[in-house]
Chains A and B, each alone.
Chain A
Amino acid sequence: EAQVTQNPRYLITVTGKKLTVTCSQNMNHEYMSWYRQDPGLGLRQIYYSMNVEVTDKGDVPEGYKVSRKEKRNFPLILESPSPNQTSLYFCASSWGRGSYGYTFGSGTRLTVV
């Protein structure tokens, strides 16, 4: 089944404790991206990657890091999480420029206390 797999689904952590949210796709998509969803704001792009070793900032990159060492994987790293990073996170992938839409993972609910 073609899908984007995110883990974990839920995560509660403490301020300052480094964490990684994993994302993997099995569709050989070139493009991958991370979004965060907050009430009243919709989804906003954090980082994106056009291909292996090619990443760039989205609209809200502060406090996040990413890497793209393999085509299928695009982990999101929070090196020192803070409470304002409490949010619902989505990984997405697509062919080319996404003209046929994006496939999303099932989301990660992160709470930073």
Chain B
Amino acid sequence: AQTVTQSQPEMSVQEAETVTLSCTYDTSESNYYLFWYKQPPSRQMILVIRQEAYKQQNATENRFSVNFQKAAKSFSLKISDSQLGDTAMYFCAFSNLQGAQKLVFGQGTRLTINP
């Protein structure tokens, strides 16, 4: 079974700093998808970025980028020039292409951006 681990329960940085959230996963599959979701206090789940495992190039969406290390099964999220609106819970998630269809989530990292 696939598992996703986020080892940082909480993080806090100053506004405008860069912050990196860690995520590791375990799977025996060679092709899959990885996601980062943001959950602000409104509790809405918002897709931040996605990565296809067969693509070596790291995904980027404006200030958000990932460092995808397939061999190490690592998928970290970097937030550049952090803003107060980035304060949220962040979830790393894995989606397989075989078997039961589902997102497997990590435990989440609560990120606070301080003014």
Determine if chain A interacts with chain B. yes
- The interface size bin for chain B is 20 to 34
Q: Are B100 and A106 touching (Cβ within 8 A)?
A: no
A-B contact count (CB 8 A): 58
Q: Are B43 and A42 touching (Cβ within 8 A)?
A: no
Distance, CA A95 to CA B100, complexed state (A): 15
0/1 string, B1-27, CB within 8 A of A gives 1:
000101001000000000000000000
Residues of A within 8 A of B4 (CB): 42
Distance, CA A98 to CA B102, complexed state (A): 8
**Interface residue ranges of A29-54 to B (CB < 8 Å):** 31, 33, 35, 40-45, 48, 50
Q: Are B43 and A106 touching (Cβ within 8 A)?
A: yes
Residues of A within 8 A of B44 (CB): 104, 106-107
Shortest A28–chain B CB gap in Å is 17
